Structure formats: C-alpha cells, structure tokens
Amino acid sequence: MLRQLHDAICARPDDDTAREALARAYDPLDAARGAFIRAQLARARLEARQDELGDDEQVRCDDLRRREAELLHQSAAGWLDPVGLVPAEVQWSRGLPENVSLSWERLWLVGRAALGALPVRHLHVLGPWRGGRRYLARQVQRLARWPALPGLESLTLTNGVLEPRALAALSCAPGLAELAALTLTGVRIGSAGAATLATTARLPRLRALTLQSCDIGPAGCEGLAASPQLAGLHALGLWANRAGDRGAVALASAAALGELRALTLSGNRVGPVGAVALLESTHLVELRRLDLSVNPLGDEGVARLGATRPPALDELELGDVGVGSSGLAALARSTLLGRLRVLRLPHNFFGAAGVRALTAVPHLERLEVLDLSSNSLEVEAMSALTSVAFAALRTLDLTCNRLGSEGVRALTRARGLAELRELDLTANSIGDEGAALLAGAAHLPRLRVVRVDHDTTISAAGLARLRARFGPGVTGATM
C-alpha cells in the first residue's frame, strides 16, 4: 500500500490526494509520520494564499512550522535510515523528502536506491573537491547512463570543469528527459560548452537554465541565443559569465527566447548599451523579471532604462550598479517605475538624496517589494520614504543602513505602510528604544515578519517586546 501511494505521488506530485492517503496509511504504523505529512500539507495550503491570511491563520501557520520542526528533530533520522540518507541531505516539502543534496560519492553509494524509493523532485550533487580535471566529466557521464528517474524535475551540479563531450551526454541523457530545470554553479564549461548545450540538448520540458560562473563569455551567450533547442525556456540565469554588452545584445536579438519570463545577468559587465537592448527587445516581449545587478550602469544607464517601455516587465533588480540621485530621479519620472511590482536597489550607497529623488513623484502605487539595503540611509532618508502613500507595499528591506532608533521613529510615523507584511532592519543598531517604538507603531496593522538580526544593541527584553507585538515572525539575536 505505501509503495503504491509513493508511486501515485511520483506520477502526480502536485495532487495532494495521494499524500493525504499516505498520511492516513501511516497513522497506525507511525503516528508521527502521519502527523508530519498533514502538518506540512496544511501549512502549504495556507502559504499558497499568504497575502490573504488573517491574524489567526498566520498564527496557525507559525504553529504548524514549529510542530514540523519538532517532529523532524524527533523522527527524521529514523524515517530516512531505510534508504541510507541522513537529515542534513534532505529538505521536506508537503510531507515528503523532495529535495536531496549529495556528494558524488554519496550519490553512487545510496542515490539510486533513495531516488527510486522516494518521490525526489530536486537533486543537487555537490563537488568535486578532489579528483582532478577529469573527475567531474567521469561522474557526469556515469550519471547520464542512469535509467529514467521518474519525477525528477531539477538537477543542480556544482564546482569543477566539464568538457563538451560530457555536457552533451548529460543534456541528451534519456533518464533526464523529464527535467524542467538544470543548474550548473561554478562548473566551467566555457563558450564551447555553451555551444554544445545549445546544439545538443534533448530536454523537451526544460523551462529553467542557470549557468552561474561557468565562464561562457559573450560567444557562449550568442550560442545560447541562437539555439532552437532552448526555445521553451521561461527562466535563464547567467550570473558572472563575462557576457558584456555583446552577450546582452545577442540575448536581446534571440527570437528563440520569446517565451522567456525571467533573465538574470548579474555580474556580467553589461553597460547601458546592453541593458537598453534587453528592455527594447522585440523578442523578449514576455520578460517580467530582469536582474542587472553588479553591472556598470551608473546614472546614465539607469536613466536610459527609464526611457524604455518593455511590455511585461514588473520586477527589476539594480543592486550595486553605481546609481545615484540623478539616475533615480530619471527613473522616478519614467513610466517604467509606475509598472513595477518589485524594485531592488541594494548596495548603491545613494543615501537620503537618492530616496528623495525616488519618492519625488507618485509612481510607486504598484510596488509590493522595495529593497533599499546597504545604501547609507539615515533618519532623513526615512522621512522622505514615509512621505509616500504606498498602496500595495508588502516587503521593505532596509538591511545594513544607519537608521538607529530615530530612523525607526520616522518609519513608525508613516501612514502609507498599512499593507506592509515584512520589514528587514538587520544591522541597523536600533536598540531597545527603536524596538519599543516599532512595537508601539499604530500604522503597521499587517506587519508579521520583522528581522533585527546582527543587532547587538537590542536586549532580550527588547526582542520580547517585538515578539509580543508581531509574533514568532520576529528574528534577531540579543546582546
């Protein structure tokens, strides 16, 4: 019976009917296991409508999370022992171990049995830390010869050098034909490897491809852009690959990427020319999320982005791009800002002048997430920020600024943060006075997640005061 239910879950992983039946089947055999499955299913249903949760439901969600942690601490080792896994190698989702992280050695030792016995959806293989240049190629070629892995949706490989022949074997492996996401992190494949992936991939269901620090360069971007094999991609992540403007322009010109919804080019030496090409592309018309962080855009580049009119973009990340008040002023005057739901501007150090420029015009009505972390913000910046009536803002990240208690005082006077659910004040030295001000704020009715981590100026009493007001969603250390 248990085997049949596991097979049913593998066949239909998003349908909870078999999971509920599995919980009932475990009740007479292992009551803790049945209780754990039910708790995770209940929390998943609540979190699926996170923005609509009332106070009682949020408390229920937090209670379920604590109960899950208790059950895992007591029983996870015993649940996993029959398949040779240990708790540190597993992440649980909706009652089952769907995410497994193993070294290559552990994969060959227990992986096939574990992946055959469990409804694993995500496999992360770590390493190699030894074995020489050919080590990773040998492991990947061995993995490519495995039989089908039913239910496996994503595969992540980290660290090493992967030659084109091994990469071709992986991307054509019959056992990975159902793969929806492939991630290579720190795996050097070079432009030749990117070209191989572009021309040989036989992954018809692939929707997300991430190549992080893979050294593909602009030529690799050109190869990916020209690939009909990758026409179904919805997400492409190319962190730290030296793409440059040439690579960005190639991607902007890619007719095959017409279904792309999310593109990450963080740390790729992309300047204003490449960035503007992406947002003016006549092919990337479905693009909703663009991450251009850690690229030399400056005020000129951000101003030029503001002049574009991408039809679908509603999430923009511009961390550490060297933008100041003049670039933000141009962005604020643009129609682009008015269409964004998510705007992330960390590590630009633009201070109060930047916040004043950003909030000078009423184009922030749609914003749900605003990240202003690491921007040297002080009290004056908070006064400017709180002058805006944010109609939809749910998450505000002010990590690593210089707010102190007076910055919190200014924040708590805001009447435009009624929808705020999550506030990050990590490393702002707000002290017990700031904690008391925040706990007594009259205009933050929906706030439930408050982070004050890395702030040794808050005592246990100050932290307790925050938790008494906002509940278990408060995190932080005490002095």
The model's pLDDT over 367-412, given as tens digits with 9 standing for 90+, comes to 999 999 999 999 999 999 888 888 899 999 999 999 999 999 999 9
Residue 257 has pLDDT above 70, yes or no: yes
User: Residue 255 has what pLDDT?
Assistant: 94
- pLDDT reported for residue 264: 98
Angle at 84 between CA 81 and CA 87, to 5 degrees: 65
| pLDDT band at residue 478 using 50, 70 and 90 as cut-offs | low
- Least confident stretch, 7-21, 291-305, 367-381: 7-21
Give the residue carrying structure tokens 């492991």.
Answer: 139
Tens-digit pLDDT profile for residues 86-122: 999 999 999 999 999 999 999 999 887 888 788 889 9
Out of 51-60, 181-190, 307-316, least confident range? 51-60
How much of the chain is in helix, strand and coil states, percent to nearest 5?
45, 15, 40
Question: Confidence band (pLDDT; 50, 70, 90) for 158?
Answer: very high
State yes or no: pLDDT of 413 exceeds 90: no
Greater model confidence, 421 or 150 = 421
d(CA 416, CA 142): 57
- Reported as half-sphere exposure (CB side, CA atoms, 13 A), residue 325 has a value of 11
Stretch 348-363: mean pLDDT? 87
Planar angle of CA 466, 470, 473, nearest 5 degrees: 95
Reference 411, options 392, 375, 439; nearest CA is: 439
Is residue 133 over pLDDT 80? Answer: no
What is the band of 38 on the pLDDT scale with cuts at 50, 70, 90? very high
Residues 6+ apart with CB under 8 A from 145: 173
Task: Give the model's pLDDT for residue 130.
Answer: 62
Residues in the chain: 479
Would you state the structure tokens that stand for residue 455, as one six-digit string? 């702030």
How confident is the model at residue 248, as a pLDDT?
Answer: 98
Q: Which two tokens stand for residue 327?
A: 């670039």
Residue with tokens 């990947």: 140
Phi and psi based region of residue 367 (left: phi greater than 0; alpha: psi -120 to 50; beta: remaining)? beta
> For residues 356-372, b (16+ Cβ closer than 10 Å) or e, as one string?
bbbbbeebbebbbbbbb
Instruction: Please give the distance of CA 1 from its chain centroid, rounded to a whole number.
Output: 37
**Residue 472 — very low, low, confident or very high, per pLDDT cuts 50/70/90?**
confident
Bridge partner residues of 210 (DSSP): 183, 237
Of the listed ranges 71-85, 112-126, 247-261, 438-452, the least confidently predicted one is 112-126
Mean pLDDT of the chain: 91
Query: In the chain, pLDDT over 90 holds for what percent of residues?
Result: 70
363 vs 161, residue with greater confidence: 161
How far apart CA 400 and CA 412 sit, in angstroms, is: 18
At residue 135, the pLDDT reads: 87
pLDDT reported for residue 131: 61
**Bridge pairing between strands 474-475 and 449-451:** parallel
pLDDT at 157 over 90: yes
For residue 132, name the pLDDT band (cuts at 50, 70, 90).
Answer: low
The predicted structure's pLDDT at residue 148 = 67
Q: Could you give the CA distance from residue 94 to residue 38 in angstroms, rounded to a whole number?
A: 8
Task: Report the C-alpha dihedral over residues 414, 417, 420, 425, rounded to 10 degrees.
Answer: -30
Cα 460 from Cα 479, distance rounded (Å): 7
Strand bridging mode 395-397 / 422-424: parallel
Asked if residue 3 has pLDDT above 70, the reply is yes
Residue 470 confidence (pLDDT) above 80? yes
Mean pLDDT, range 354-362, rounded to an integer: 85
Write the pLDDT tens digit of every residue in 173-232. 888 888 999 999 999 999 999 999 998 888 889 999 999 999 999 999 999 999 998 889
Q: Stretch 426-452: mean pLDDT, rounded? A: 94
Judged against a pLDDT cut of 80, whether residue 444 lies above it is answered with yes
15 compared with 106, residue with greater pLDDT: 106
Nearest CA to 305 out of 341, 281, 286, 269 is that of 281
**pTM for the full model?**
0.92
